Amino acid sequence: MLAKRIIPCLDIRNGSTVKGINFGNLHNVGDPVALGAKYAAEGADELVYLDISASSEGRQTFTELVSRIAARIDIPFTVGGGIASVDDAGRLLEAGADKITVNSAAVANPSLIDAIAAKYGAQFIVAAIDARMIDGRWVVTTHGGSRPTDRELFSWATEVANRGAGEILFTSMDHDGTKNGYPCDVFARLAGLPVPIIASGGAGTIRHIADVLTIGHADAALAASIFHYGEIPIPTLKQELNKQGINIRL
């Protein structure tokens, strides 16, 4: 059985790490290279960097940042934000990223997943899905959760897996930044897909992470606030998960 992974997430805006609630009220929490190096030293299994700056200038700044991260950090890291073509993906992979993630652009053009997977391999592409509950239905959203689409979470997750995504990163927009726990029932259902599932949105306690890795059957737990604010040190988290019998790399 593969070890479960702990993945800090760093949202990047104009070269700085930021954090908010439900993708709003953002404020700076630190330098992304220094934070990433700190998390790697503490035992993080992987990192995710998401560029939330929308401009082309921001994306160029992000590419340069990826090169600096790759030079400093010795664990796998995934990058995303504004990737809308095979060339965009290639630029970031060439800068040193281990994997890229696509979200809004893939919803608009699902064949983007096929194209990136065909050129670089499924192991290099993570499909990020943001969704929220609307009228009793998990509705896929884009542009940082601000635009509902006509896609339903589980059918879209099935489609991205079939198109060649090597992993799925699902964020519940209703839980993001709230520290009230992950929707474990949703992750347990997603776990039936033939690709690893990364859980995102809602981590506030060690119990929340333990629950999503066990009850939710997620392959990895992604979190931001609890790490950025030093609320749960990664070594403490991993030791507690290990004590609970969860297969984790110490």
pLDDT at 225: 85
The predicted pLDDT at position 46 comes to 98
11 is annotated as an active-site residue? yes
- Kindly state the tokens that stand for 61: 């700044």
Per residue in 67-102, pLDDT (tens digit) is 999 999 999 999 998 899 999 999 999 999 999 999
Between helix 206-214 and helix 234-243 the angle, nearest 10°, is: 50
> For residue range 23-59, what is the model confidence (pLDDT) as tens digits?
556 777 789 999 999 999 999 999 999 988 755 556 7
- CA-to-CA distance for 138 and 157, rounded, in angstroms? 11
Residue 134 has pLDDT above 90, yes or no: yes
Q: Is 87 a catalytic residue?
A: no
The reported pTM is 0.93
Decide which of 162 and 104 is more confident.
162
Which pLDDT score, from 0 to 100, does residue 40 have? 97
Q: Indicate which residue of 51, 88, 130, 211 is catalytic.
A: 130
Q: Which secondary structure element, helix H or strand E, spans residue 125, and what is its range?
A: strand 125-134
Catalytic residue among 11, 45, 51, 211: 11
At 28 the pLDDT is 78
- pLDDT at position 14, please? 80
174 pLDDT more than 60:
yes
